[in-house]
Amino acid sequence: MPAVVTDIVAEIQALKVREDATILAHYYQEGEIQAIADFTGDSLQLARAATQVTNGTIVFCGVHFMAETAKILNPAKRVLLPDLKAGCSLADSCPAPKLARYQEMLRENGRKFQTVTYINSTAATKALCDWVVTSGNAEQIIGRVPADMEILFVPDRHLGQYLQEITGRKMILWDGACMVHEIFSVGDLIRQQASLPGCITVAHPECPANIRSQSDFVGGTEAIIRFVATLPDSCDILVATEPNMIWQLERRYSNHRFHPVAGISCACNACPHMALNTLEKIRDCLESGSPEITWDPCFDRAGEVLRRSLLS
Ligand code: CIZ
């Protein structure tokens, strides 16, 4: 009699073979999901990794705009997202019709500008833009906007402010923010720093200016990983980004101690959208082939912008 498979990880592994699938997972996913992924990364690395996948199916463990990006860059692949409701507060803050009206108003006022969107936006919004940036390539892409053009940066005003500071380019900023990064408490951060003499603080550029200015290093998740590699042994490191990032940091750097920075309203700033994906839902989507990201007409134009920005 065949053994009954009770271990969900074994079930997922078997289904991956049956469905010819690769699992991609963002650093903000639970550790148990990152542990079973074939590839982990930030959204830039995951978008690029998606273009290298040879299997017919990609299970994207992240949020909707990331899975959508994987589909846009790989139209022939089946892309599954374990929970279709895994959204993003930044993407929600900049719906395409609202952005189109704003761009129209700027043009009517004679403004010459290019629109740069953070990758945390819908495909319909990307289709209205000239460039897409991630936290990993933003500085480099901003450098490609002609100097005689203004920059309309959407949707994250904190990342936009940070990019203004480091590039010196003046920007028109959309009023969006990430629900995870906006609510770090600077008071708690200062108290945590006082209780850990000599500690190092790393912060994501989606954090507000008061958190960034209180930090030793500001960068996207991949940049944080590279920065920690340069530190001497045995540091206390305060981490101001989604706390699942600590799983990835501890996996790589067991020589340090990592501490999440507390949020204003709760002890940790876990992203409720990322948390919708679970091992059970990964198994179920492989089993049923659903939910799947399906092609939308706006993907053609969004694909041009994505390829120009992320792949060249
Ligand atoms: O770009 C990404 O993947 C996000 C949302 C954060 C980061 O810095 O990796």
Which CATH number fits the domain that encloses residue 43?
3.40.50.10800
Alpha carbon distances (Å) from 263 to 51, 81, 242, 260: 36, 28, 10, 9
pLDDT over 50 (residue 1):
no
Domain termination residue (choose one: 150, 173, 196): 173
Instruction: Say whether both 22 and 42 belong to one domain.
Output: yes
Ligand 1 geometric centre to CA of 110 (Å): 34
Ligand 1 geometric centre to CA of 75 (Å): 23
Q: What is the mean pLDDT of residues 292-307?
A: 97
Regarding the beta carbon of 192 and ligand 1, being less than 6 Å apart is answered no
More confidently predicted of 303 and 265 = 303
Ligand 1 pocket test target in 26, 180, 244 with most atoms within 8 Å of CB: 26
Regarding the beta carbon of 134 and ligand 1, being less than 6 Å apart is answered yes
- Give the residue from 119, 89, 70 showing the smallest Cα distance to 293: 70
Ligand 1 geometric centre to CA of 175 (Å): 19
Q: Is residue 265, in this structure, part of any structural domain at all?
A: no
Q: Is residue 301, in this structure, part of any structural domain at all?
A: no
Regarding the beta carbon of 135 and ligand 1, being less than 6 Å apart is answered yes
pLDDT confidence of residue 45: 96
Ligand 1 geometric centre to CA of 14 (Å): 30
| Residue 132 pLDDT grade (very low, low, confident, very high; cuts 50, 70, 90) | very high
In angstroms, rounded to a whole number, what is the distance separating the alpha carbons of residues 248 and 275? 16
Regarding the beta carbon of 155 and ligand 1, being less than 6 Å apart is answered no
Q: Is residue 290, in this structure, part of any structural domain at all?
A: yes
Instruction: Say whether both 102 and 139 belong to one domain.
Output: yes
| Residue 266 pLDDT grade (very low, low, confident, very high; cuts 50, 70, 90) | low
Residue spans of alpha helices (H) in 109-204? 123-126, 138-142, 157-167, 186-195
Domain termination residue (choose one: 173, 192, 212): 173
Which of 11-25, 117-131, 179-193 is predicted least confidently?
179-193
Q: Is residue 312, in this structure, part of any structural domain at all?
A: no
What's the whole-model pTM score?
0.95
More confidently predicted of 264 and 81 = 81
Instruction: Say whether both 255 and 286 belong to one domain.
Output: no
Instruction: Say whether both 157 and 140 belong to one domain.
Output: yes
Q: What is the mean pLDDT of residues 288-296?
A: 97
Contact 210, 190 (CB under 8 A): no
pLDDT confidence of residue 125: 98
pLDDT confidence of residue 312: 85
Number of C-beta neighbours around residue 75 at 10 A? 11
Q: Is residue 308, in this structure, part of any structural domain at all?
A: no
Ligand 1 geometric centre to CA of 241 (Å): 10
Q: Is residue 311, in this structure, part of any structural domain at all?
A: no
pLDDT confidence of residue 81: 98
Instruction: Say whether both 99 and 168 belong to one domain.
Output: yes
| Residue 109 pLDDT grade (very low, low, confident, very high; cuts 50, 70, 90) | very high
Q: Tell me the average pLDDT of the chain.
A: 95
Instruction: Say whether both 96 and 82 belong to one domain.
Output: no
Q: What is the mean pLDDT of residues 150-158?
A: 98
How many structural domains is the chain composed of? 3
Instruction: Say whether both 278 and 209 belong to one domain.
Output: no
Ligand 1 geometric centre to CA of 108 (Å): 34
More confidently predicted of 194 and 268 = 194
Contact 272, 68 (CB under 8 A): no
Q: Is residue 7, in this structure, part of any structural domain at all?
A: yes
Instruction: Say whether both 65 and 95 belong to one domain.
Output: no
Ligand 1 pocket test target in 132, 204, 309 with most atoms within 8 Å of CB: 204
Residues in the chain, overall count: 312
Instruction: Say whether both 141 and 69 belong to one domain.
Output: no
- Residue 280 belongs to domain spanning: 3-86+274-296
In ligand 1, the atom with minimum distance to the C-alpha of 178 is 5
In angstroms, rounded to a whole number, what is the distance separating the alpha carbons of residues 270 and 274? 8
Q: What percent of the chain has pLDDT over 70?
A: 96
pLDDT over 90 (residue 263):
no
Q: Is residue 80, in this structure, part of any structural domain at all?
A: yes
Ligand 1 pocket test target in 29, 34, 39, 43 with most atoms within 8 Å of CB: 43
Domain termination residue (choose one: 149, 173, 197): 173
